[in-house]
Chains A and B, each alone.
Chain A
Amino acid sequence: MKALLSLACCLGLAASACAGAGDTGGGSGTTLSVAIVSNSQMQDAQKLVPIFEKEHPGIKVHFISLPENEARAKITASVATKSGEFDVAMISNYETPLWAKNDWLVNLSPYIAKTPGYDAQDFIGPIRQSLSYQNNLYSVPFYGESSFLMYRKDLFAKAGLTMPEHPTWQQVEQFAAKLDDPKKNLNGICLRGDPGWGEVLAPLDTVINTFGGRWFDQKWNAQLDSPTVISAVQFYTDLIKKYGEPGAAQAGFSECATQFGQGNAAMWYDATSAVSSVEDPQSSTVSGKVGYAQAPVVKTKSSGWLYTWSLAIPKTSKNKDAAWQFMSWMTSKDYMKLVGQKLGWSHVPPGSRLSTYQLPQYKKIATAFAKPTLEAIQSADAQHPTVDPVPYTGVQFVDIPEFQDLGTRVSQQISAIIAGQKSVRSAMKQSQDYAQTVGDTYAKGNS
C-alpha cells in the first residue's frame, strides 16, 4: 500500500510540475499556438513555416490542424470560454462579425497600420467587408471563395451545346437532362446533398436566394415554407434526384470532387476553390477539359456565395505582436509568391488578394479559371443576398450564432428529401418550425 501511495504522490507531483512547464523550445523565444483547418492550402503553409521561423528567430510556431467541423468546435469552445489556448485561430467570415461584437477578437487595424507594405486594400472588396466590424478588420483572409459552375468543355462540344457565361438554372437543368447518361456512368450534374450547415445548405441557399426566397423577413418571421423557398428546394432536390450523383444524400465537396475528377459528372456547381483538385493532374483525370461559368441565376444578377478562411487573434493571447507577425506573413503578398516558387503556382491560396491575380506565373496556370473566380467573388453581395430585404447578412448562411444548429437541422431534412425519405412539403414544414423558434428569439428584440 505504501508503494501505491508514494506512486500516486509522485504522479501528482509530476503532473503539477508538468502543468507549469513551458515549452521545451530554445531560450527566451516565443512559442505561438496556432489552430487551423486541415485543408490543403493550410497544409502547404505548415510546410513553409520553417522559412518564417528562420526569418523571425525567437518565434516558434506550433500547429494543431483539424477537419473543419472539429476545428470550428474546438476553436469556438476555446475562444468562448477564454481559455487562452491559441494565439492565432483560423475562423471565417461567419464567426468574425459575431465574435468581434462579443469583444473576443483583437482589432487588427492598428497592427495593419504599423505594417508597411501589407496593403489591406489589396484584399478583394466583398471579402474584406465580410471580415470587418464597424469598419475595422478583425481577421485577415487566408483564402477566399465564391461558387461557380464547372462543366466539361469536351462533353458539351460533343453534344453541340454551348454554356453561356451567366447561365440560368433552367438552362442548367436542360443541359443536365441532355448529358445525363447512366449507361456510361455519367451524371448530368453533381451537387452537394449531405447534411451540414456548410454542406448541402451552401449551394442550396444560393439557389433559394436566386429563386427569390429568404430565411427570414424583416420582422424575423421564418419563410421556409413560403412558395418561393419551396419551389427552390423542389428544383434543387429534383435536379439531384433526376440527374445527380448516386449516394447524393451523403455526398459533399469531396465526393463530388471525386466524381467530377474521375469523369463521372458533366457539371459540378460548387466552390471556386475546387479548381485545386479539379485542375490537378495528380488527382483528377479531367484537368484541362473544364470550363467555368458564373453561378446560375434566376431572379438575381449574381448568386455565388461568399466564404473565406481567415486568421484572427483571440483577445486572451499573450503574444499578440508575435501572432501578428506570423499572421501577416501568412497572408502577405510575399507569401503568395513564396508558395508559387516553392510548391507550385497551383498551390497559391486563391480568392483573397487582387495582386495574386496579377502575378504572371499565376496568370499562366490560371487562365481557365482566374477571371471567373474573381468575377464570382467580386459580384457576391453578402449585405443584400436576396431579392427581398432581410434582417441578416450572409449569402449561403444567416450570420447569427444559432445558424450552425438551425442550419444543420434544416440540412438534415433536406438530405432526407434527397434520400427519398421525406416529401418537400413535410421537410420544409419541419424546417419552418425550427426556423420560427429561432426567429422568435430575435423578434422579441433579444441580441
Chain B
Amino acid sequence: MAGIAESSSSSTRAGRFGLALLTWVVAILFFFPVLWMVLTGFKQENAAYTRTPHITFSPTLQEFRNVFDSGVGAYLENSLIATAVSTLLVLILATPAAYALSIKPVKRWQDVLFFFISTKMLPVVAAIVPIYVVVERIGMLDNIWMLCILYAGMNMPIAVWMIRSFLLEVPGEVLEAATVDGANLQQSLRRVVLPMIAPGLAATALICVIFSWNEFFFAVNLTATRAGTVPVFLVGFITSEGLYWAQLAAAATIATLPVLLAGWIAQKQLVRGLSMGAIK
C-alpha cells in the first residue's frame, strides 16, 4: 500500500532510510518523557532529582512497594468499574443514535449533532458546585455509579460523532443490500453493518476508556473515601511539603499502566477502525 510519501523517495534507498530514521527519532523524542517517568519510579529518592540526570542508577522496587502498600487496589477497582460500565453504556446508547444521524438521518440531524457537541462547552469547573449540590441532595455522593453515569454523559458526544463517521464510511451497496433483504431491517443491519464498523467501535471504546480513566475533576469532587478512582489516588502523592519524585513517578506509572496497555494492545484496532475506508 503505497502512501503519499512513498512515491518518489522510494526510488532512492538513502531517501527511504532517511525518512525511516526521522520517524524513529521523532517517536523516541515523543516517548522519552514517559520513559523517563517510568525509570524514575525505579530510582531511590535522593537520586531521582539531580542536576545531571542519571541514566544509570541502582534500581529499587521500594517506591513501587510503597505505592502498593498505600492501598491502590481499591482505587484500581473503582476506576475499572467506572470506566467499563460507562463505556459500555455509551456504546449501547451512541450506536443507534449515530445511526439515526447518518444512515437514516432524522430531520434535524445537524441541530442534534450540534446539541451533543454543545454539551461539552460548559466548563466543568463552573458547574461543579451546582453539580455537587444536586448529587448531594439525591444522596449519591461518594458513589461509583454516579461517576459511571456522569462519565457516560461526558463521553456521549464524542462517541456519537465518531461512530457516525464510521457509519458514513460503510459502502452504499452494503446498505442497499441490507434494506433489499426486506422484513427484518434491524436484524440485517446488526448482522452486516455492525461487524463492519466493529473496529470503529473498538476505536471509540478506547477513546472513551482513556477519557474516563484519566478523568480527575468529577472524581475528586464527588467522591470521598469509598469511590475514589486512580487519578484521585495519584494526586494524593503530590505533597505540598517535599517533592518525593521517585514515589510520585512510581505511582504515576502504575496509574497510567492499565490505559497504556489497553492502548498498545488496541492500537492496531484503533488505526484499523479509524481507517475504515481502506476496505475499498
* Complex interface bits, B24-58 against A, C-beta within 8 A gives 1, otherwise 0: 00000000000000000000111001110000000
Partner of B241, one of A20, A81, A273: A273
Say whether A254 contacts B241, CB under 8 Å: yes
Partner of B141, one of A83, A261, A285: A83
Q: Which of A19-77 contact B (CB under 8 A)?
A: 19-20, 23, 33-35, 37-40, 43, 46-47, 62-70, 74, 77
Chain A positions within 8 Å of B242 at CB level:
39-40, 253-254, 257, 276-277, 283
Chain B residues within 8 Å of chain A by Cβ, number: 45
B89 within 8 A of A: yes
Residue of A nearest to B186 (CB): A1
- Given the known inter-chain contacts A255-B243, A258-B49, please indicate yes or no for A81 contacting B132, CB distance below 8 A: yes
A443 within 8 A of B: no
Say whether A4 contacts B92, CB under 8 Å: yes
Chain A positions within 8 Å of B238 at CB level:
38, 67
Chain A residues within 8 Å of chain B by Cβ, number: 55
Chain B positions within 8 Å of A255 at CB level:
243
A15 within 8 A of B: yes
Partner of A283, one of B46, B140, B226, B240: B46
Chain A positions within 8 Å of B77 at CB level:
none
Q: Which of A234-281 contact B (CB under 8 A)?
A: 252-255, 257-258, 261-262, 264, 271, 273-274, 276-277, 281
- Given the known inter-chain contacts A46-B70, A77-B132, please indicate yes or no for A34 contacting B225, CB distance below 8 A: yes
Partner of A38, one of B146, B148, B239: B239
Say whether A67 contacts B51, CB under 8 Å: no
Say whether B45 contacts A282, CB under 8 Å: yes
* Complex interface bits, B108-151 against A, C-beta within 8 A gives 1, otherwise 0: 00000000000000000000010011001011111111101100
How far apart sit A232 and B146, CA to CA, in the bound complex (Å)?
51
A123 within 8 A of B: no
Say whether A65 contacts B236, CB under 8 Å: yes
Question: Which of A65, A271, A282 is most buried by chain B, counting CB atoms within 10 A of its CB?
Answer: A65
Say whether B240 contacts A258, CB under 8 Å: no
Partner of B243, one of A258, A271, A273: A258
CB distance from A24 to the nearest CB of B (A): 9
Say whether A70 contacts B220, CB under 8 Å: yes
How far apart sit A69 and B236, CA to CA, in the bound complex (Å)?
11
CB distance from A225 to the nearest CB of B (A): 30
A326 within 8 A of B: no
A11 within 8 A of B: yes
- Given the known inter-chain contacts A11-B89, A15-B149, A262-B50, please indicate yes or no for A39 contacting B221, CB distance below 8 A: no
- Given the known inter-chain contacts A19-B140, A74-B220, A81-B136, please indicate yes or no for A62 contacting B225, CB distance below 8 A: yes
Say whether A66 contacts B220, CB under 8 Å: yes
Say whether A185 contacts B51, CB under 8 Å: yes
How far apart sit A185 and B52, CA to CA, in the bound complex (Å)?
12
* Complex interface bits, B223-247 against A, C-beta within 8 A gives 1, otherwise 0: 1111010001001111111111000
- Given the known inter-chain contacts A19-B143, A67-B235, please indicate yes or no for A285 contacting B46, CB distance below 8 A: yes
* Complex interface bits, A337-350 against B, C-beta within 8 A gives 1, otherwise 0: 00000000000000
Give 16 CB contacts A-B under 8 Å. A4-B92, A18-B143, A37-B240, A63-B225, A64-B224, A64-B228, A66-B235, A70-B220, A70-B235, A85-B141, A253-B240, A254-B243, A257-B242, A262-B51, A281-B46, A285-B46
Give residues in A with beta carbon < 8 Å to B.
4, 7, 11, 14-15, 18-20, 23, 33-35, 37-40, 43, 46-47, 62-70, 74, 77-78, 81, 83, 85-86, 185, 252-255, 257-258, 261-262, 264, 271, 273-274, 276-277, 281-285
Closest 9 CB pairs of A and B: A62-B225, A254-B243, A68-B240, A65-B236, A15-B145, A277-B242, A83-B136, A38-B236, A85-B224
